[in-house]
Amino acid sequence: RLQYEQARDKVIKKMAENIPEILVDELKNADINRRVNTLELTDNQGENLTFVLTLHDGSKCELVVNELQIEMLARAIIHAINNAEMRELALRIT
């Protein structure tokens, strides 16, 4: 358990150092074609989760998330929603 927590903390620190700043204006004026319409879990074998995101323009992107990244990813999503002043959405998903 301790080894897992140390590995997770290392990954979280590395991810936190690389989170880009997003401004409210960027979210309000985002390209609609880059918006995610659907999120589908396509693989959950081993230590990674693989998701396919279908964008508004029909293109697809694959996102692979290691189990050590899940906690930080959730924190980043909530932080981004709060920064975008979308409090109602943040309350619905927490």
pLDDT value at residue 49: 94
CB 69 within 8 A of CB 52: no
How would you label 19-30 residue by residue, b for 16+ Cβ within 10 Å and e otherwise? eeeeeeeeeeee
Treating both helix axes as pointing N-terminal to C-terminal, what angle do 2-17 and 70-83 enclose, rounded to 10 degrees? Answer: 40
Q: pLDDT tens for residues 6-36?
A: 998 998 888 888 878 878 788 788 898 988 9
Q: Indicate the number of domains in the chain.
A: 1
Q: Is the pTM of this model over 0.75?
A: no
pLDDT in tens, 38-67: 999 999 989 999 999 999 999 999 999 999
What range defines the domain where residue 87 resides?
A: 2-93
Confidence of residue 94 (pLDDT cuts 50, 70, 90): low
